[in-house]
Amino acid sequence: MKSFVFRVRLRGRLSDADADRLYEGLGEEVAVEEGPKGAFVGFDRHADSFVEAVLDAVNEVVVLGFEPLAVEDELVSMADIAERCGRTRQSVSMLVSGRRGPGGFPRPVAGNVRSPLWHWADVAAWFEGQGGGEEFEDRLRTIASINGELANRALARDRPQELERIRRRLAG
């Protein structure tokens, strides 16, 4: 089994009692956080695949009475990227800066100038696109698909006619 790190954004704000319920109900080490983008539960799950890890976590959140809105991939540093790709940190730094490789390395999504962070899915997709032989699980499409279904669940509850109209218009 592999370890997968990701977080699930929840609808609404969390009370202390909600956070306690999440900690107790999930029965594992999770990180419950609240910030300007909403409430999140961070997971570090062991599973056979990324999709299984995420679907199990989302299901558990729903069973506890919370509404998941979206899944976000884990953030990685240059050191994390180097470890996962079997490269040195210096090699990754040169790819990031464009001093080596084809250029076009993904832009950081968080952190700061000294400690930038990337979504792992973006980095993995970039490496696969370079034809370097690395094979990574297609997390971008998996996350997009799960988030689409989560959005459809919310729309079906809030505005079912609009969801039906979208489905009819997009049906091929």
Nearest alpha-carbon partner for 45 in 26, 62, 32, 63 = 26
CA atoms within 13 A on the CB side of 106: 23
How does pLDDT run along the chain (172 residues), one tens digit per residue?
888 889 999 999 999 999 999 999 997 678 998 888 889 999 999 999 999 999 999 999 999 999 999 999 888 999 999 998 889 999 999 999 999 989 999 999 988 988 999 988 889 889 888 876 556 777 888 999 999 999 999 999 999 999 999 999 998 6
Note the pLDDT of residue 133.
Answer: 56
The sign of the CA dihedral 34, 20, 26, 29 is positive
Full-model pTM: 0.78
| Amino acid code (one letter) for 10 | L
Name the DSSP class of 109: -
Gap between the Cα atoms of 33 and 145, Å rounded:
24
Name the DSSP class of 65: T
Dig out the tokens for 29 from the structure. Answer: 């080490």
Note the pLDDT of residue 18.
Answer: 94
Gap between the Cα atoms of 84 and 155, Å rounded:
37
Q: Which residues pair with 1 in a beta bridge?
A: none
Note the pLDDT of residue 11.
Answer: 93
